[in-house]
Structure 1
Amino acid sequence: MNYRDTQPQPIIGQAWTGKHVILLHCTANNQFIGLYKSFHAPTEPPRFNCSETLSQLLSIGYHIHAVTAISPNHIQYVLVL
């Protein structure tokens, strides 16, 4: 075994192989509040209309994992890719 075999090999340029997570926050009347994502999660620019933002995320492959009412007027969608 030589020195090169025992050293960590660079991984720059390798594709991300884990899960991507997005938290989408909206009002009950379809207004966008905020979007929180894992560092490498692919996204589209969010829209003022929450259903349009949700539609964009679903069209690039995200799946709704959970929907939670944080308050009577605040909904959180958990999306996973």
Structure 2
Amino acid sequence: MRNIREYQTQPMIGQAWTGKHVVLLHCTTNNELIQLYKSFHAPIEPPRHNCAETLSQLLSIGYRIMAITPIISNQIQYVLVL
């Protein structure tokens, strides 16, 4: 039998959150936004239908492109981190 403490995490009340914000942007090769996924508290502006405009907005906020990956036929995924 496993100890129940292995599955429970203790909250760290009062400790500052030091994580990063992540945004996944799925676009077509024709510059159309398909979907935007983000971490819960990631700051974003309303996405546009134009993928380049959405990327421009995210870069102006301070996000950096960490990866660009072709996913399925005619689709690209951008991974941005702030």
Name the TM-score class by shorter chain: 0.7 to 0.9
Partner of 1:71: 72
Structure 1's unaligned 5+ residue stretches are 1-7
Aligned residue for 1:42, secondary structure, equals: coil
Residues in 2 aligned to 1:15 and 1:55: alpha-carbon distance in whole angstroms = 30
Aligned residues: 72
Aligned residue for 1:26, secondary structure, equals: strand
Residues in 1 aligned to 2:55 and 2:47: alpha-carbon distance in whole angstroms = 9
Residues in 2 aligned to 1:36 and 1:15: alpha-carbon distance in whole angstroms = 24
Provide the TM-score with structure 1 as the length reference.
0.80
Structure 2's unaligned 5+ residue stretches are 1-10
Partner of 1:32: 33
Amino acid at match of 2:35: G
Provide the TM-score with structure 2 as the length reference.
0.79
Residues in 2 aligned to 1:27 and 1:68: alpha-carbon distance in whole angstroms = 12
| TM-aligned CA deviation for residue 59 of structure 1 | 0.2
Which structure has the greater CA radius of gyration? 1
Amino acid at match of 1:68: T
Residues in 1 aligned to 2:34 and 2:79: alpha-carbon distance in whole angstroms = 14
Instruction: Give the fraction of aligned pairs with identical amino acids, expressed as a percent.
Output: 75
Give matches, 1:41-56, under 5 Å: 41-56=42-57
Residues in 2 aligned to 1:69 and 1:10: alpha-carbon distance in whole angstroms = 40
Aligned residue for 1:48, secondary structure, equals: coil
